[in-house]
Structure formats: structure tokens, C-alpha cells
A and B are shown apart, each in its own frame.
Chain A
């Protein structure tokens, strides 16, 4: 793209206002690289445009603060750009269990979003070159095709599943679960056309938060189900699932 494309230059205002199509945005960004005066103009107009947004500030709900901050801090950061686009990998501080942090943060964020029962594409948040998987769980969470879905648990709480079709794996998380008597436990199942397969027992803390549980061998048509079973274990689910997630939702 040449820097003296007169037609393109008229897009300055629309570009700053994000009032261009994706193609135009890309073309204009390329144009900017070779047009110092455009960059200067855009810089100034951006300050003005951003005032349109900051003037509308509203106070976020206080309960969003902690989970949002933690979700961010559990995420990898982009390395600084060196010499025109060549970037180096950068890793978060060692010594901290990254997967745990990531999951806790993801769970916290979903806990907030779960009220609306919305599925969220997690891929864009987690899929990043500088996010190095520290474990299998983390690998699922940061899979390119990772999709996150949450649903209320009928007996209380919210369940979250992050699944990667490509990896045939999912991570199950939950919080706010009703405590069970010693004789009962929460069991996970993969439920598909070929029947139910056990997918693990949840470890639930006193807070009602379940430890993130890795589910492997998941096929595209499987749903993840959670049932309450005798603590001695069951070969097949013996009660109605308290939550089922997937696959169409995944």
C-alpha cells in the first residue's frame, strides 16, 4: 500500500471512530506504516475520540474487580515488539502454579458471567504465543479451539467447561456447589451416543469450589454430566445429572 493513496487517506476520521470494515481497517493500518503525517493526525484525533468514551464512565460492580484482575494476571503477556514485529517469548514469573492460577481466574470470570448463562469463546483470550502451557490443563485452556461454556447446577452453583475438540479434552470447574454428606460425592461423566463413561470424581472444597478436573477422551458428540453418587463410586450414573454441558453448546 502506498502512502499517497488519496482515497485511503480520507478514511482517517472513520478509522479513528472504528467506522470502517475489517478490510478497510487492515488496508488503512498498512497505509499508516508508511505515512508519518497520518499517524500524527490519528494520534490527535484518537485523544478526542477517546473522550467520547471516557465521558460515559460508569462504576463497574465491585464484585467484578477481583475476578477480572485475577483473570488478567493469570494470563501471559505479549512481549515487547523488537525491530518491527519480531517478538520474543516471555513467561510469567516461575514458581507459581500457572495452571491453577489460570483456572481459578477463568472460573472466577465465568462465575461473574454465568448469571447470564452465556458461552464465551475463550480462544481469543487464551490463545497467545507467549502463553506457554505449564500443564495439560493449561494446554486445554489455551488451546486454539478452546471454547468455554457455563451452566447452573440444579442443586446450586455454577459449572464451567472449557473444551478443546482438537485435543479431545475438557476441563471441568465449578463453584458454589452444595456440600454433600460423606456418603455421597460428585461424579463426572462423559455422556454420548455410546453411553456414559466415568470422567472423574470432583474434589470439592468447603467453599463449594471444585478443583479443576481434566476430562480426556472426549468426542465431539459427548456431553459432560455431573451426578451425585454414593461415595463408594458407581459404574454408571445412578441419579439425574445436576448439570449437563455440551456438545452443541461447545
Chain B
């Protein structure tokens, strides 16, 4: 039996980050990962693990749990890479869909009914709190600015769902707004966000 560490000197020395411009590069890398390309996967890790961890932390509010979710999602990326289809959407959107869904599933299973009520109060304002370790503050500012272009209700609906992990029905309860309205605001809020951010994913 050999030591796993000894087999993989390349990975151990792999602190070098690949090109910092993910967009199309990420799509290509994911396609390579689907074929079992291990070095492409390392590059994907370097590009996306920070996004995944950041999103998980926002949703879970627990650094240790967020790290677990990040690791699970990175594993999912490897496993499911063959399901990524660049014709359907960007690699970033694909990765973040996996990440967000996993984080939301986790937070829902973790939350007790009582906790739910408590955290709701903070979730509304939390979208613009300052995290010390945010990697890409320019991107963050841009998204914050676009969130600011939504109506207050749109913003609350989108933020409570995305960062709070609440269902539209729960958001309706929290905000005292009919569920049908919340569904509509989530949709038109996202449309406005999309329009403000510009064409999909280009700036990444």
C-alpha cells in the first residue's frame, strides 16, 4: 500500500492559480473535467471554491458548515461535470446552482422552527453587511448596486430567498405579503437584476 500523499506531488505543489478570468475558460475546464481531467479540476477548484464557500456562508451563517458544503459541492462538480452543458448556461451559473441548492437544502434541514423566526429578522438587512474576507469587492459592489436598483419588496423577496434560504411561502409569511405577490416579485426582481448586471456572466 502506498501513501496517497506520495502519489500526487503535482497537486501538492499546485498553489499556482490559473488565469483569473473564468467565464469561457471555466466552461472549457468543466468540459475537460467531465472527461476525468484532474488538472482541469484543480483549476476549477481554484476558480470556483471561493464563490461556493462565499455563497454557502451567506446562506448558512456558520463557517464550519459552509466549509462542509463547499467540499460537498466541489465533489459534486467533479461527479456531475458531464451534466454541464455550455449551451444551457455558463459554468459559473451551473456551479452556483449546485452550490446554492446544496446550501439551501442544508440550511432547511438544520433550521429548527424556532430558529427560523429569529434569523428572519436579520436576513432582511444582512444582504449588505460587510464580510471581512470578500474576495472580489468590485464584483460585490456591482451586484450590491444592482440589488439597490430593485424595489424594496423585490429586493427583500430576492434576498430572503437567495441569502436566507427561505421558500416563497415563508417569505410571504415573513413579509406579510400574499404568496402570489412574492412569486411575482421574485421573478421580476431577478429580471431587473439581470438587466442591471448586463449580459449573462460576461463580467466574470
Q: Using Cβ atoms and an 8 Å threshold, which residues of chain A touch B167?
A: 14, 19-21
Interface contact A19-B166, CB-CB below 8 Å: yes
Interface contact B51-A53, CB-CB below 8 Å: yes
Interface contact A70-B161, CB-CB below 8 Å: no
A105 within 8 A of B: yes
B186 within 8 A of A: yes
Q: In the bound complex, how far is the Cα of B117 from the Cα of A62, in angstroms? A: 35
- Show 7 A/B contacts (Cβ-Cβ < 8 Å), sorted by A: A13-B183, A48-B193, A53-B162, A70-B11, A72-B41, A113-B67, A125-B75
Tell me which of A39-47, A153-161, A180-188, A218-226 binds B: A39-47
CB-contacts of B69-123 with A (<8 A): 70-72, 74-75, 77-83, 88-90, 92-93, 95-97, 99-101, 104
Interface contact A13-B136, CB-CB below 8 Å: no
A-B contact count (CB 8 A): 253
A17 to B, closest residue via Cβ: B161
Q: Assuming A52-B163, A115-B64, is B53 touching A70 (CB within 8 A)?
A: no
CB-contacts of A77-95 with B (<8 A): 77-81, 92-93
B18 within 8 A of A: no
Interface contact B143-A47, CB-CB below 8 Å: no
CB-contacts of B121-154 with A (<8 A): 131, 133-136, 139-140, 142-144, 146-147
Interface contact A68-B49, CB-CB below 8 Å: yes
> Footprint of B on A, CB under 8 Å?
10-14, 16-21, 39, 43-62, 64-73, 75-81, 92-93, 97, 100-101, 104-105, 108-109, 112-113, 115-116, 118, 120, 124-125, 128, 205, 207, 209, 211
Q: Using Cβ atoms and an 8 Å threshold, which residues of chain A touch B136?
A: 54-55, 57
Interface contact B92-A54, CB-CB below 8 Å: yes
For residue B102, give the distance in angstroms from its CB to the closest CB of chain A. 10
For residue B183, give the distance in angstroms from its CB to the closest CB of chain A. 5
Q: In the bound complex, how far is the Cα of B189 from the Cα of A125, in angstroms? A: 34
Q: Which 10 A-B pairs have the closest CB atoms?
A: A13-B187, A104-B4, A13-B186, A53-B55, A47-B200, A50-B96, A72-B78, A19-B161, A56-B54, A55-B143
B188 within 8 A of A: yes
Number of contact residues on B: which range applies? 35 or more
Interface contact A14-B161, CB-CB below 8 Å: yes
Interface contact B49-A44, CB-CB below 8 Å: no
Q: Assuming A56-B54, A64-B67, A78-B82, is B187 touching A12 (CB within 8 A)?
A: yes
B21 within 8 A of A: no
Interface contact A65-B75, CB-CB below 8 Å: no
Q: Using Cβ atoms and an 8 Å threshold, which residues of chain A touch B36?
A: 77, 92-93
Q: Using Cβ atoms and an 8 Å threshold, which residues of chain B touch A113?
A: 64, 67-68, 71
A16 to B, closest residue via Cβ: B190
Contact of A73 (CB < 8 Å), options: B41, B49, B64: B41
Q: Assuming A14-B161, A78-B80, is B1 touching A55 (CB within 8 A)?
A: no
Q: Assuming A47-B200, A70-B8, is B72 touching A14 (CB within 8 A)?
A: no
B176 within 8 A of A: no
Interface centre among A20, A60, A128 (most CB of B within 10 A): A60
B194 within 8 A of A: yes
B12 within 8 A of A: yes
B20 within 8 A of A: no
Interface contact A47-B54, CB-CB below 8 Å: no
Interface contact B88-A118, CB-CB below 8 Å: no
CB-contacts of B22-70 with A (<8 A): 34, 36, 38, 41-42, 45-46, 49-55, 57-58, 64, 67-68, 70
Q: Using Cβ atoms and an 8 Å threshold, which residues of chain B touch A56?
A: 51, 54-55, 57-58, 131, 134, 140
Interface contact A45-B4, CB-CB below 8 Å: no
Q: Assuming A18-B104, A55-B136, A58-B57, is B89 touching A43 (CB within 8 A)?
A: yes
Interface contact A49-B96, CB-CB below 8 Å: yes
Interface contact B89-A100, CB-CB below 8 Å: no
Interface contact B183-A58, CB-CB below 8 Å: no
| 15 further A-B pairs in the complex, CB-CB below 8 A; given A16-B186, A53-B52, A56-B140 | A14-B182, A16-B190, A19-B166, A45-B190, A46-B93, A46-B96, A48-B193, A52-B193, A54-B96, A55-B140, A58-B134, A61-B67, A69-B11, A118-B68, A124-B72
